[in-house]
Amino acid sequence: MKRIGMLTSGGDCQALNAAMRGVVKGLSANVDELEVYGFENGYKGLIYGNYRLLTSADFSGILTRGGTILGSSRQPFKLMRTPDENGLDKVEAMKQTYYKLNLDCLVILGGNGTQKTANLLREEGLNIIHLPKTIDNDIYGTDVTFGFQSAINIATDAIDCIHTTAASHNRVFIVEVMGHKVGWLTLYAGIAGGADIILLPEIPYDINKVVDAIQKRSKAGKGFTILAVAEGAISKEDAALSKKEYKAKVAARKYPSVSYEIADHISGKLGSEVRVAVPGHTQRGGSPCPYDRVLCTRLGAAAAKAIMDEDYGYMIAMVNNKTKKVPLADVAGKLKMVDPNGQMVKEAKRIGISFGD
């Protein structure tokens, strides 16, 4: 008999269900008896004992279904050691729920914050397996996270759709892509969608260089320009501020987001209209793409093997197109950033894409 718990934490994405299915199918095919307890709404379910016993029917037909059948929520890691409003010790509560159900393992699907709490529970003595989920692809220790490729497809489609209207009206268009701290999604979607300018959090931009790139296209007879801008794109001036100063500036910002600020600056310098398109949470939605379905099936199968081998305390990663167990202790709390001097950025610049630097 194997008893495992599963939860999905943080922002949702398209392939969470596919990943859970992969784990359960991998275990069901190889163990005589299996009980799977699903914790509802992420760590909240583990803290407050909100769970249900899942059956094979729960995992049938969910390979192509986006979102998460368990629900999700954000539970900031920095508050995990802080008692809740009723004085409840959240870490102890999670441990008690785990031991009450006599679990052999807890499978946790989530991004960076989720992973830090997963490692905390590992340090507290629980058997943990983590599966790396995020559309941002910013988890250290794995080449790719599930949800990333599906989000690329959606963000790229948004840029593709902007091309026709931008060309028809000879306009400058900004497409704002998700990604507060890292720019992988914007980088991939920007290149795939044929963006002329790509602005990332890792490469602070000079607005004058951005305007120069637009004017260069105009002089070459190209009547429109498309910018792919990450949510967390930052100017060189703002990058020079302290963290406290920058937070204060963002709080006082009159614009809905950085894209609107950039649009205003460009419009002021060029005297022409600039439009902003924000795909927003559509980038998290819909069905997982075929690549993510395959990825999640492989990660799930590898997680099932680790559980059968009673080999815990790992993130199941994809490295050089092979699944790999990576110790949680080695990766928790680390971000995988875009390298401003990396090969992909250099190649993008080589074909004329501007990064505003």
List active site positions. Answer: 136
Spatial contact of 198 and 155, defined as CB atoms under 8 Å apart? no
Strands (E), 56-179: 105-110, 128-132, 172-177
At 7, the amino acid letter reads L
Residue 54 structure tokens: 């899942």
Residues β-bridged to residue 51: 39
Q: DSSP assignment of 114-137, as one string?
A: HHHHHHHHHHTT--EEEEEB-TT-
Indicate the Cα dihedral angle 238, 241, 242, 243, nearest 10°.
Answer: -10
Residue 107 tokens, joined: 């499978």
- Spatial separation of the C-alpha atoms in residues 41 and 108, rounded to whole Å: 12
Q: Residue for token digits 């260089």?
A: 209
Q: What is d(CA 71, CA 110) in angstroms, rounded to the nearest whole number?
A: 12
Quick count: other Cβ atoms within 10 Å of Cβ 251?
7
Helix (H) or strand (E) holding 258: helix 258-270
Distant-in-sequence, close-in-space partners of 305: CB < 8 Å, separation ≥ 6: 26
Q: How far apart are CA 137 and CA 143, in angstroms?
A: 8
Kind of pairing between the strands at 128-132 and 314-319: parallel
Kind of pairing between the strands at 225-230 and 172-177? parallel
Q: How far apart are CA 130 and CA 335, in angstroms?
A: 16
CB 291 within 8 A of CB 149: yes
Q: What are phi and psi of 268, to 5 degrees?
A: -65, -35
